[in-house]
Amino acid sequence: MEPQRHQVQERVEKGEMTQEQADRAEEFMASSSIMLFTGVVGAIVVVTIAVFGAPLILWLIVKFAFKAPAGYKKILEVYGLSSLIGILSAIVTLIMMHLFDSVRATPGASLLLMSDFDYNSFAHKFIASLNILTIWQTAVFGMGVAKVSNKSLGTGMMVSFGLWLIWVILSASVGLGIG
């Protein structure tokens, strides 16, 4: 909720809303069962799309760009196995957020920006996405792509890191804040 609070505070500073309205909005965000329901349903939808949709797109890229014989199930397997590192990353990140008392505390370059992170800065969002565990996960996925497509390790890494870089640039541009 930190980005929403930041946006509300910016509106107060610009004079678009009073501090009283901002306090009521923050109260609503914190206590609303609608927000809770939306968050739960949204998480289920996003996770489902991420688990099955991302490998589908990756499979199409591998199938048509590399003309690889690997099926969707193999790419799903590679994606799922590399996602185990993502689970580790989430656990480490949660521990770091608790220890540093900041949502910007992740195992990566965001540690450099924790105290003065600017939500409107593309560079800050890009730097924050440079997470050592995400890079490890991307490398493992690249190795898996190389193996199932019968291509060189360099080709698999190029595809994996190329797609990761595109994702990071798009998400930082749009403001998703995920890398």
Mean pLDDT value of segment 148-163: 92
Report pLDDT for 176.
Answer: 62
Distance (Å, whole) CA 159 – CA 79: 13
Is 27 within the bounds of a domain? no
Of the candidates 125, 129, 127, which has an alpha carbon nearest to the alpha carbon of residue 137? Answer: 129
Residue 168 lies in a domain: yes
Whether residue 2 is contained in a domain is answered as no
Higher pLDDT, 29 or 96: 96
For residue 13, being part of any structural domain is answered with no
Of 25-34, 87-96, 98-107, 161-170, the range with the lowest mean pLDDT is 25-34
Domain assignment present for residue 3? The answer is no
Instruction: Please indicate, yes or no, if residue 9 is contained in any of the structural domains.
Output: no
38 lies in a domain? no
Query: What pLDDT does 153 receive?
Result: 94
Report H helices in the chain. 2-14, 19-31, 33-48, 54-65, 72-100, 122-128, 132-149, 153-174
31-50: average pLDDT? 77
pLDDT at 179: 46
Residues 6+ apart with CB under 8 A from 105: 93, 96, 97, 99, 111, 114
pLDDT digits (tens, 9 = 90+) for 64-93: 888 888 889 999 999 999 999 999 999 999
136 pLDDT higher than 90: yes
Query: Could you tell me if 113 and 137 are in contact, meaning their C-beta atoms sit under 8 angstroms apart?
Result: no
Containing structural domain, residue 74: 54-174
Tally of domains in the chain: 1
pLDDT at 105 over 60: yes
Out of 37-41, 76-80, 161-165, pick the least confident.
37-41
> Whole-angstrom Cα distance, residue 58 to residue 173?
22
Placement of tokens 């760009």 in the chain: 65
**Most distant CA atoms of the chain, gap in Å:** 62
The answer as to whether 25 is a domain residue is: no
